[in-house]
């Protein structure tokens, strides 16, 4: 496609620049007019969303690329640009849609909070970075945006600086993501050394050896594991819930953590069969670890965080075992219903929490909201139903696509079906706690309408109409999805597992037990313990041993060498003062004395000349007498 004749080259930079403008405005306006920043940031993002919608509607077929020279390394020119395809414009629209809804929601959620202008500025910066990551045509530019996404997530998680837990969570998320970034960097080095380019369109058309694809695939898998919280780099995500709830909805449920899966989908062609097998194992392990974590928690946001981990693992396994299209389908559906769950959870927490106190997030104390906030609870149930894969929801369609793709492989199908059972179990458990009778003395607060509107929109997007025109097949106007009819037997099996999971949850949690499994069984606990014993403890012991070696041996050698050098310098100084300086002083003294003597001989006085003449004559006479006496 000849991009020079299209208008997309105007819409893409405009869509990327508008969220960045809101970031710049925050520092131009200053603190005095900081209250304007939320409104301007939302207005600019609305304009960016319009640009993304134009791209989605107009760029439904084919792929177009636009690039400009960035810098050169010898004869090689590195370009910066974008690549528009049905997949990239769909993901860009999803990012901007959810970001816009989070901006609107945050106006009510952050009202009265300190640092609101800074919060909205970094929301805009994150949207810009994520948009650049989605449409970038060059992997080096993708990596730069990848790093900017990590930076903005660090600032947003730690937004509440006065809370030590938020600062610690932000630091942990930043450091764990850097581990994954190392894999991304090494993959870029492999590709440059073997292919000589980072342009995605060029890499697609090049043949690659299995050895290169295995090495690059495993390095990229490490990057995916860091960003998308895959096993074993998943324990940072539950801690990241210490940040504001809209941040959890935007970057830790819908878009940022999905960036790793999106990278996997985009670069699927760079993975060998062996690398895909490893990715499938990592994804399936993550599914069950995340699902178990959701069953063991009572903190509402951490339950949703673990469910995010589980669903991300399902996406990774789906891309590895089924197809990139199947994984991307679930990624898009998950973005809407999980963002809806987080925003609804934030609204419910807001309804029972008191200003100035720690938010009430324990599901054992969130019951009884049905009577006072029925509309919000219904929205939560719709999004939870989509997460569980209830028919007539988008989650049902996306999970059926994954199951249909692996239907011919009994082992893979069985594992993914078991993950669906686990999902329905923890979703039913969560809903049962929220629908419990209202406890005595519970005082609730009204939820601002500006917070209810985004929740309502996301709950509509969680129904099948958000993904398809048909509740039983993937028939839609989305340019990225092909029409696909789901296998009836797969739908029957998944629906049966759903009913089984709900029944099991009713059997286990109908009385809403106050105690869960032992703390040691919670994934976050034992993963931290494993990390402590396998990584932190050996690292600390090694550092202690090296410190002792440094103090006892290296410092001893250096000190001995320095003492010897100082002693030798003293000896050299003494020799210099006594012998060298003494010899020089003696020569100068003799020369000085001789000069005085000869100066006395030529002083211009006749008396002196007569005296020296008489002395000379007397000396000559004495010498002559001496010579005559010894003949």
* Structure confidence by residue, pLDDT tens digits, 326-355: 889 899 999 999 999 999 998 888 888 765
CA-based nearest residue to 399, from 484, 284, 314? 314
| Tokens representing residue 189 in the block | 């080095």
Task: Give the per-residue pLDDT at 450.
Answer: 92
Please answer whether residues 276 and 214 qualify as being in contact, where contact means their C-beta atoms are separated by less than 8 angstroms: no
**What is the percentage of the chain residues whose pLDDT exceeds 90?**
33
Average pLDDT over residues 581-593: 81
User: Which residue intervals of 370-487 are DSSP H helices?
Assistant: 374-388, 394-405, 410-434, 449-461
- Beta-strand (E) ranges in 472-512? 473-474, 484-485
Q: Is the model more confident about 381 or about 26?
A: 381
Q: Provide the Cα torsion 42, 45, 49, 51; round to 10°.
A: 140
Average pLDDT over residues 411-429: 91
Average pLDDT over residues 598-622: 76
Whether the per-residue pLDDT at 467 is higher than 90: the answer is no
Of 284-288, 426-430, 485-489, where does mean pLDDT reach its minimum?
Answer: 485-489
**Beta strand pairing status for 484-485 and 473-474?**
antiparallel
Average pLDDT over residues 281-310: 91
The Cα angle at residue 432 between residues 430 and 438, in degrees rounded to 5: 115
CA-based nearest residue to 348, from 444, 440, 431? 444
Please answer whether residues 468 and 475 qualify as being in contact, where contact means their C-beta atoms are separated by less than 8 angstroms: yes
DSSP string, 399-416: HHHHHHHTTT-HHHHHHH
The span from the CA of 395 to the CA of 427, in Å, is 13
Residue 64 main-chain phi, psi, to 5 deg: -125, 145
The span from the CA of 269 to the CA of 275, in Å, is 11
Please answer whether residues 149 and 129 qualify as being in contact, where contact means their C-beta atoms are separated by less than 8 angstroms: yes
The region, left, alpha or beta by phi > 0 then psi within -120 to 50, assigned to residue 392 is: left
Whether the per-residue pLDDT at 74 is higher than 80: the answer is no
Q: What is the pLDDT of residues 299-334, one digit of tens each?
A: 899 899 999 999 999 999 999 998 888 889 899 999
Task: Give the per-residue pLDDT at 3.
Answer: 42
Task: Give the per-residue pLDDT at 482.
Answer: 57
Q: What is the pLDDT of residues 510-564, one digit of tens each?
A: 877 766 665 556 666 656 666 666 666 776 777 788 878 877 777 778 878 888 8
Whole-prediction pTM value?
Answer: 0.83
Task: Give the per-residue pLDDT at 490.
Answer: 85
Q: Is the model more confident about 478 or about 197?
A: 197
Please answer whether residues 294 and 307 qualify as being in contact, where contact means their C-beta atoms are separated by less than 8 angstroms: yes
Q: Is the model more confident about 527 or about 581?
A: 581
Residue 277 CA, chain-centre distance (Å), reads: 25
Task: Give the per-residue pLDDT at 242.
Answer: 84
Please answer whether residues 461 and 387 qualify as being in contact, where contact means their C-beta atoms are separated by less than 8 angstroms: no
Whether the per-residue pLDDT at 122 is higher than 50: the answer is yes
Q: Which of the four pLDDT bands, split at 50, 70 and 90, describes residue 2?
A: very low
Residue 507 neighbours by CB distance under 10 Å: 8
Residue 9 CA, chain-centre distance (Å), reads: 29
CA-based Rg of the chain, rounded to a whole angstrom? 38
Whether the per-residue pLDDT at 606 is higher than 80: the answer is no
Average pLDDT over residues 398-413: 86
Q: Which of the four pLDDT bands, split at 50, 70 and 90, describes residue 358?
A: low
Whether the per-residue pLDDT at 454 is higher than 90: the answer is yes
Of 4-13, 170-179, 226-235, 278-287, where does mean pLDDT reach its minimum?
Answer: 4-13
Task: Give the per-residue pLDDT at 307.
Answer: 92
Please answer whether residues 154 and 176 qualify as being in contact, where contact means their C-beta atoms are separated by less than 8 angstroms: no
Measure CA of the first residue to CA of the last residue in the chain; give whole Å.
128
Q: Please count the residues of the chain.
A: 631
375, 456, 481, 631 from 453: Cα distances, Å: 11, 5, 28, 140
388, 418, 429 from 423: Cα distances, Å: 6, 9, 10
Task: Give the per-residue pLDDT at 338.
Answer: 92
Please answer whether residues 287 and 317 qualify as being in contact, where contact means their C-beta atoms are separated by less than 8 angstroms: yes
List beta partners, residue 299: 362
How many angstroms separate the most distant Cα atoms in the chain? 149
Give the burial class of 278: count Cβ atoms within 10 A of its Cβ; 0-12 exposed, 13-18 middle, 19 or more buried.
middle
Task: Give the per-residue pLDDT at 522.
Answer: 66
Q: What is the pLDDT of residues 240-249, one digit of tens each?
A: 888 888 888 8
228, 622, 625 from 611: Cα distances, Å: 111, 16, 21
3-state secondary structure 264-321: HHHCHHHCCHHHHHHHHHHHHHHHHHHHHHHHHCCEHHHHHHHHHHHHHHHHHHHHHH
**Beta strand pairing status for 473-474 and 76-84?**
unpaired
User: Which residue intervals of 515-605 are DSSP H helices?
Assistant: 523-531, 537-549, 555-575, 581-601
**Which residue's structure tokens are 């990241």?**
240
Average pLDDT over residues 166-173: 87
């Amino acid at each position: 496609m000849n991009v020079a004749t299209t208008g997309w080259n105007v819409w893409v930079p405009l869509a990327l620049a508008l969220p960045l403008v809101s970031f710049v405005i925050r520092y131009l306006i200053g603190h005095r007019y900081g209250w304007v920043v939320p409104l301007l940031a939302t207005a600019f993002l609305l304009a960016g969303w319009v640009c993304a919608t134009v791209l989605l509607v107009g760029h439904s077929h084919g792929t177009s690329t636009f690039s400009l020279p960035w810098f050169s390394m010898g004869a090689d020119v590195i370009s910066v640009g974008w690549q528009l395809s049905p997949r990239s414009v769909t993901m860009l629209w999803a990012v901007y849609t959810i970001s816009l809804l989070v901006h609107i929601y945050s106006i009510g959620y952050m009202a009265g909070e300190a640092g609101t202008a800074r919060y909205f500025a970094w929301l805009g910066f994150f949207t810009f970075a994520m948009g650049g990551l989605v449409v970038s045509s060059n992997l080096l530019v993708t990596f730069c945006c990848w790093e900017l996404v990590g930076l903005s997530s660090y600032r947003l998680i730690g937004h509440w600086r006065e809370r030590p837990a938020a600062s610690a969570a932000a630091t942990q998320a930043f450091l764990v993501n850097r581990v994954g970034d190392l894999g991304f960097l090494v993959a870029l080095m492999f590709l440059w050394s073997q292919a000589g380019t980072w342009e995605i369109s060029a890499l697609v058309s090049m043949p690659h050896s299995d050895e290169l694809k295995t090495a690059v695939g495993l390095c990229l898998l490490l990057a995916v594991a860091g960003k998308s919280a895959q096993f074993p780099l998943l324990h940072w995500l539950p801690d990241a819930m210490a940040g504001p709830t809209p941040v959890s909805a935007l970057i830790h449920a819908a878009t940022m953590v999905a960036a790793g899966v999106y990278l996997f989908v985009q670069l699927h062609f760079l993975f060998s069969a062996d690398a895909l097998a490893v990715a499938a194992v990592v994804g399936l392990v993550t599914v069950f670890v995340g699902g178990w974590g959701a069953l063991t928690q009572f903190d509402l946001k951490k339950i949703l965080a673990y469910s995010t981990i589980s669903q991300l693992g399902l996406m990774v396994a789906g891309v590895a075992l089924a197809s990139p299209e199947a994984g991307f389908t679930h990624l898009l559906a998950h973005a809407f219903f999980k963002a809806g769950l987080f925003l609804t959870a934030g609204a419910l927490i807001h309804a029972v929490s008191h200003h100035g106190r720690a938010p009430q997030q324990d599901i054992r104390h969130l019951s009884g909201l049905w009577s006072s906030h029925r509309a919000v609870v219904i929205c939560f149930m719709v999004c939870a139903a989509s997460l569980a894969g209830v028919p007539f929801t988008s989650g049902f369609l996306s999970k059926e696509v994954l199951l249909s793709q692996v239907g011919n492989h009994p082992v893979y199908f069985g594992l993914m079906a078991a993950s669906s059972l686990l999902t329905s179990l923890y979703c039913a458990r969560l809903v049962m706690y929220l629908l419990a009778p209202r406890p005595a003395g519970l005082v609730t607060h009204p939820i601002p309408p500006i917070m209810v509107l985004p929740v309502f929109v996301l709950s509509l997007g969680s129904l099948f109409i958000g993904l398809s025109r048909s509740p039983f097949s993937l028939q839609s106007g989305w340019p990225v999805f092909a029409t696909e009819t789901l296998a009836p037997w797969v739908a029957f099996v998944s629906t049966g597992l759903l009913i089984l999971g709900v029944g099991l949850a009713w059997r286990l949690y109908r009385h809403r037990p106050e105690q869960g499994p032992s703390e040691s069984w919670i994934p976050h606990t034992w993963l931290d313990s494993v990390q402590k014993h396998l990584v932190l403890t050996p690292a600390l012991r090694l550092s202690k041993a090296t410190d002792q070696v440094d103090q006892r041996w290296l410092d001893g050698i250096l000190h001995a060498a320095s003492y010897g050098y100082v002693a030798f310098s003293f000896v050299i100084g003494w020799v210099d003062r006594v012998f060298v300086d003494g010899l020089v002083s003696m020569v100068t003294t003799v020369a000085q004395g001789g000069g005085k003597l000869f100066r006395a001989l030529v002083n211009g006085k006749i008396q002196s000349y007569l005296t020296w003449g008489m002395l000379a004559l007397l000396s000559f006479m004495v010498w002559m007498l001496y010579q005559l006496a010894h003949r």
